[in-house]
Amino acid sequence: MMSKISGLYGITIDNDLDIQARVQAALKGGANIIQYRDKSYLPDREKIAERLVELCHEYDAVLIINDDLDLALATNADGVHLGRDDLDVKAAREKIGDKIIGVSCYNKLELALEAEQQGADYVAFGRFFPSVTKPGAVPAETSLLQEAKAMLSLPIVAIGGITTENAKLLIQAGASSVAVIDGLFNQQNIKKTAEEFSKLFR
């Protein structure tokens, strides 16, 4: 499963009423990973997540659940993404078995080294550019990706303000994958945007 963490990584928008159509468009365009991110805790989130798992598997992609290990288990998602205030990797691994565990490392290489030691499957750094979704997120330098690439054996995901115009810089610096929210799901033609992102990895 770890090898699946490459290419375009789409992260859903909160309260998106057209979430299934948007995700399908991204998958058609070549997204390899979708993360279901729902900070509003909608009452039908389990049904939404189950459908997204099915959709991703139709396109040979993976569905990661943001922050919610119980939801990942209940919906048979492919993995979970953990942030600063979530379970540590060891505790998550005991519950989730061999499914994918990703960890947010912000701008801290030491967090990534610790996550790898604990058994994470990938690490994420960022924000690398000004972000609409998280304007207050700590900034990270592209040199961090170069350092991480030299020191880690895990896939490295870059996040934060990424567009089709600036993604190549991060890929060249060592990102295995770019995680995109607004730059993908708020675009007029999601499928075409996903195709443009995917071409950058070829």
The verdict on whether 134 is a catalytic residue reads yes
If one counts every other C-beta atom within 10 angstroms of the C-beta of residue 21, the result is 11
The verdict on whether 37 is a catalytic residue reads yes
Contacts of range 99-107, beta carbons closer than 8 Å, 24 or more positions apart: 99/1, 99/72, 100/1, 100/2, 100/4, 100/5, 100/62, 100/64, 102/5, 102/64, 102/157, 106/137, 106/138, 106/140, 107/138, 107/139, 107/140, 107/141, 107/144
Handedness of CA 160, 161, 162, 166 (dihedral sign): negative
Given 37, 99, 127, 131, the catalytic residue: 37
Given 51, 134, 168, 192, the catalytic residue: 134
The verdict on whether 131 is a catalytic residue reads no
Given 4, 104, 127, 176, the catalytic residue: 104
Active site members = 37, 104, 134
